[in-house]
Amino acid sequence: MKCNIKKIITYMFVTVLIFILAGCGSSLSDDDSTASRRDDWGAEATDETTEVTTEVTTEKKTEEKKTEEKTTESKNESKASSSDADKSDDQADSGSTSSSSGGKLIVLDPGHSNVVTGNTEPLGPGSGEMKAADSAGTHGTTSGLTEIQLNFQIATKLKAELEARGYTVLMTRYDNDTAISCSERAKIANDAGADAFIRIHADGSESSSSSGAMAICITPSNPYTAETYNSSRALSDAVLNAYVASTGFSSRGVWETDTMTGNNWSTVLCTLLEMGFMTNPNEDSLMADTAFQQKMVTGIANGIDDYFKN
């Protein structure tokens, strides 16, 4: 009986020991599983963090690239604007004196000629009044130049100046020995459809003290070409004002008269400029001077510009 009791106790002890040992093994497994899950979470968290970081970095790079592109575009626009501004400035500079020319046709008439026919012609279209067709003009008392020579010198230089400003220019004579009447000079301007007919002359007087410049145009009641009066008067004012401003000569104003054959025959706007007195020693010397002639030319050209600007 005692043996049986011992066996039973021994059996129970062994059984309890087995259960105890089995419970300890389960706890270790759970710890391992928890650690594994913790490691897995850490790995997942690291992957997610890496993905987020990569996305942020990518977005940042994309934004930086866009910023660079915008900056580049901005710089390019700035350069383009600057270039356009420079071009605009260049155009303004180059067109400052010729912006009003628009390729307009100017006919220049250097008055008189060495060849005087002695013929007469009507004062105007259909007029019964006859007038000398041509004459030799006056001459310089100090310079020795004839008016024919001075008129041609100024007209030739004025042609070059106007062409440099963008005008198209014709002359009624290209030498000093061409016989041409006043009406024939006007016909050249009419046939060409000139935008302006500029007649170049110099004055003479019995008095050596007579001085100053003057422009001549038709009157409002001109019986031949009254429709050009307003424009011819405006052209006369513009040319005379700019001329005296450039040369310093005094202004004798605009003389309105219907006694000038060349003006009466002109169907386009017309002015005759008396540049100064060749019988005045001071003005004669100045008008014969090459440097001063440039002032004369510049003044006339400025006046033509001023007329077309307005």
pLDDT, tens digit (0-9, with 9 covering 90-100), for 109-132: 999 999 999 999 999 999 999 999
The whole-number pLDDT of residue 65 equals 46
pTM, full prediction: 0.69
Under DSSP, is residue 26 helix (H, G, I), strand (E, B) or coil? Answer: helix
Dihedral through CA 117, CA 120, CA 124, CA 128, nearest 10?
-170
* Distance in angstroms (rounded) separating the CA atoms of residues 146 and 14: 154
Contact 277, 211 (CB under 8 A): yes
Where b means 16+ CB within 10 Å and e means fewer, 25-38 reads eeeeeeeeeeeeee
- pLDDT by residue (tens digit) across 12-21? 655 544 444 3
Query: Residue 190 CA to chain centroid, in angstroms?
Result: 30
Range ranked top by mean pLDDT from 63-72, 95-104, 182-191: 182-191
Residue burial 41-80, b: 16+ Cβ < 10 Å; e: rest = eeeeeeeeeeeeeeeeeeeeeeeeeeeeeeeeeeeeeeee
Least confident of 34-38, 177-181, 270-274: 34-38
- Report the distance separating Cα 151 and Cα 299, nearest Å: 15
pLDDT in tens, 31-50: 333 333 333 333 333 343 33
Residue 68 amino acid letter: E
CATH topology of domain 105-309: Aminopeptidase (3.40.630)
pLDDT score of 4: 53
> Over the stretch 224-243, which tens digit does the pLDDT of each residue have?
999 999 999 999 999 999 99
